[in-house]
């Protein structure tokens, strides 16, 4: 299981379970991911309630959930991997993230930012 991406302070219960809800389009491109984490001693929420809230949350980010399919996965996703959904198998496909060269700054963009920064300092 991948390492979870949150921190806690003090005496904290262990993670009892993790589920991931993946919204994807007809080509298998993932459009929204929602992780549900249950700590020891807590009750897992009813699936119907969870699905309703997950759909609402995905829609709040501008996703048309009526055009997306939902895949439930019984683990957290690894942040070092790139995922897509195999439509025929209904399963996640993962491959390591490719390292990308840093974005080039558009010409003149730095000058505009510098001028704006100097104007703010003068105030």
Residues 19-49 have pLDDT tens digits of 999 999 999 999 999 998 899 999 888 989 9
Question: Is 57 within a domain?
Answer: yes
- When divided into structural domains, the chain yields a total of 1
Residue 6 lies in a domain: no
Does 54 reside within a domain? yes
In tens, the pLDDT along 41-66 reads 998 889 899 899 999 999 999 999 99
- Retrieve residue 88's tokens: 């025929």
Flag whether 39 is in a domain: yes
Q: Where in the sequence is the domain holding 55, given as residue range(s)?
A: 15-98
On whether residue 5 sits in a domain, the answer given is no
pTM higher than 0.75: no
Give a yes or no: residue 80 inside a domain. Answer: yes
Residue 113 burial by CB count (10 A; 0-12/13-18/19+): exposed, middle or buried? exposed
Flag whether 78 is in a domain.
Answer: yes
């Amino acid at each position: 299981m991948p390492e979870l991406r949150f921190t806690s302070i003090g005496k904290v219960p262990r993670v009892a379970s993790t589920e991931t809800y993946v919204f994807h389009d007809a080509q298998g491109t993932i459009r929204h991911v929602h992780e549900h984490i249950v700590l020891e001693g807590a009750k897992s929420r009813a699936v119907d309630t969870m699905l309703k809230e997950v759909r609402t949350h995905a829609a709040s980010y501008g996703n048309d959930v009526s055009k997306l399919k939902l895949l439930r996965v019984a683990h957290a996703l690894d942040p070092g991997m790139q995922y897509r959904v195999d439509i025929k198998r209904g399963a996640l496909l993962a491959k390591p993230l490719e390292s990308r060269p840093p974005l080039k700054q558009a010409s003149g963009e730095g000058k505009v930012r510098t001028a704006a920064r100097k104007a703010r300092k003068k105030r």
